[in-house]
């Protein structure tokens, strides 16, 4: 079985083609082709619009469960609240929404394994992240939520949230406007930003099913079979060499800490970027599901050429060195070093890099956009060393 087949066998799709097909008949909203669907203003103001977005921490909660069981420290659940929140807010940042968020959280748990203090840790994680964002001038409020005891469906815990935001229509950034001649500025997912208390591995909340099974030791299947789908073949579960407490090569983090690095938010950075450069920015793209090929879904008749990517940070290098996944697949599963990219006029790139630096986030021009006239859809071309991958 090749690496791509092995990833699919774990019940995960990098491209989600079946999901895209299922929703293909739905309306594109007020701004078709934007990163998030935008609809009429919930208050009825014709100059405003509304976006409602839902996302979550995904199977990262399984790693948190492992860490809690291994260490007895429930605070590991706090980070997945940040993951569930940021996966929403940073998607919404891609349409230009940077403040005025209302959040509702949804937790589905198996109450035999995830107790009340664990739920309290998740809620504490939401509160802590919201407070840090408020300190950065981001207005965000928790409105409540739902904790469902669904042990017949969920073996450990699912941590999701829904975020609502209103914004002026004139402020919308639509990725449908990305055009040839613009450059792509990547915002690093790794390192230590101004908002972060420690090093971030860059993992975010995508590719976690692959990451944990390719890195973690098979002993975790024997100790915690509840963290694995009953439909997954045992020979595909926890195939790696590492324990959670092992040092991650090339990093100051353990493997468990690296896998659980809370998803970095770019909200304050995007706010400052748009304040300074809104007229020069044609699109903002959150490199989540689909990794570095995510951009293929936006714009029309385009070729995204990425030929100056960041060197993959230690966590991604370690996954690649496992030999269980090919580089081409890695770029379609993981962000590989930058989780947000800005499509902008070339003259604006240096200012964008400087704004990122003021937030403690490394940025660089990682590529550019070319015309793909005569080809169906869009393409992504990734050049890494002597290799070229086309999606």
Q: List domains and CATH numbers for the chain.
A: 3-390 (3.90.650.10)
- DSSP secondary structure string for all residues of 328-363: HHHHHHS-TTEEEEEEE-GGGHHHHHHHHHHTT--E
Asked if 92 contacts 101 with a C-beta cutoff of 8 angstroms, the reply is yes
Q: Read off the pTM.
A: 0.93
Q: Is 187 left (phi over 0), alpha (psi -120 to 50) or beta?
A: beta
Which residue in the block uniquely carries the two structure tokens 């990451």?
211
Q: Euclidean distance between the first and final Cα of the chain, in Å?
A: 21
Q: Which of 121, 124, 127, 31 has its CA nearest to residue 72?
A: 121
Neighbours of 5 (CB within 10 A): 9
Which residue in the block uniquely carries the two structure tokens 């739902």?
146
Which residue in the block uniquely carries the two structure tokens 């087949």?
5
Both tokens assigned to 83? 């993951």
Q: For residue range 31-71, list pLDDT tens digits in order.
A: 999 999 999 999 999 999 999 999 999 999 999 999 999 99
Q: For residue range 8-36, list pLDDT tens digits in order.
A: 666 565 665 665 566 667 788 999 999 99
**What is residue 3's predicted lDDT score, i.e. its pLDDT?**
46
Q: Using the 8-state DSSP alphabet, how is residue 112 labeled?
A: T
- DSSP H helices, the chain, are 3-9, 17-22, 60-71, 78-93, 116-135, 208-215, 219-223, 255-259, 267-277, 314-321, 327-333, 349-358
Q: Which residues of the chain have pLDDT under 70?
A: 1-24
Q: What is the largest CA-CA distance in the chain?
A: 58
Q: Using the 8-state DSSP alphabet, how is residue 89 labeled?
A: H
CA distance 168 to 278: 14
CA distance 134 to 85: 14
**What is residue 20's predicted lDDT score, i.e. its pLDDT?**
52
Asked if 169 contacts 34 with a C-beta cutoff of 8 angstroms, the reply is no
Q: Is 343 left (phi over 0), alpha (psi -120 to 50) or beta?
A: beta
The burial of 379, by beta-carbon neighbours within 10 Å (0-12 exposed, 13-18 middle, 19 or more buried), is given as: middle
């Amino acid at each position: 079985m090749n690496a791509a087949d092995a990833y699919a066998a774990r019940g995960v799709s990098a491209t989600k083609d079946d999901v895209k097909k299922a929703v293909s008949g739905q309306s594109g909203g007020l701004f078709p082709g934007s990163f998030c669907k935008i609809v009429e203003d919930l208050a009825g103001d014709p100059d405003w619009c509304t976006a409602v977005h839902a996302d979550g921490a995904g199977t990262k909660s399984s790693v948190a469960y492992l860490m809690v069981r291994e260490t007895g420290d429930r605070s590991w659940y706090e980070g997945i609240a940040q993951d569930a929140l940021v996966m929403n807010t940073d998607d919404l940042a891609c349409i230009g929404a940077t403040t005025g968020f209302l959040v509702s959280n949804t937790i589905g748990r198996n109450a035999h394994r995830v107790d009340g203090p664990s739920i309290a840790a998740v809620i504490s994680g939401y509160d802590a992240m919201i407070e840090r964002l408020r300190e950065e001038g981001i207005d965000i409020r928790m409105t409540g939520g739902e904790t469902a005891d669904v042990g017949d469906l969920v073996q450990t815990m699912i941590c999701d949230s829904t975020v609502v935001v209103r914004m002026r229509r004139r402020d919308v950034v639509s990725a449908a406007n990305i055009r040839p001649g613009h450059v792509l500025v990547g915002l690093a997912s790794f390192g230590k930003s101004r908002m972060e208390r420690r090093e971030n591995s860059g993992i975010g909340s995508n590719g976690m099913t692959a990451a944990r099974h390719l890195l973690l030791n098979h002993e975790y299947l024997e100790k915690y079979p509840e963290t694995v789908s009953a439909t997954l073949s045992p020979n595909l579960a926890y195939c790696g060499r590492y324990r959670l407490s092992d040092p991650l090569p090339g990093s100051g983090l353990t493997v468990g800490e690296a896998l659980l690095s809370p998803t970095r938010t770019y909200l304050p950075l995007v706010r400052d970027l748009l304040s300074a450069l809104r007229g020069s920015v044609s699109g903002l793209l959150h490199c989540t599901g689909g990794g570095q090929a995510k951009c293929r879904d936006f714009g029309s008749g385009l070729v995204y050429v990425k030929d100056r990517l960041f060197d993959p940070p230690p966590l991604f290098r370690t996954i690649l060195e496992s030999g269980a996944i090919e580089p081409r697949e890695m770029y379609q599963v993981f962000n590989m070093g930058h989780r947000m990219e800005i499509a902008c006029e070339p003259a604006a790139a240096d200012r964008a890099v400087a704004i990122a630096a003021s937030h403690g986030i490394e940025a660089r021009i990682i590529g550019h956009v070319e015309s793909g006239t005569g080809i169906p859809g869009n393409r992504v071309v990734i050049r890494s060393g002597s290799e070229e991958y086309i999606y």
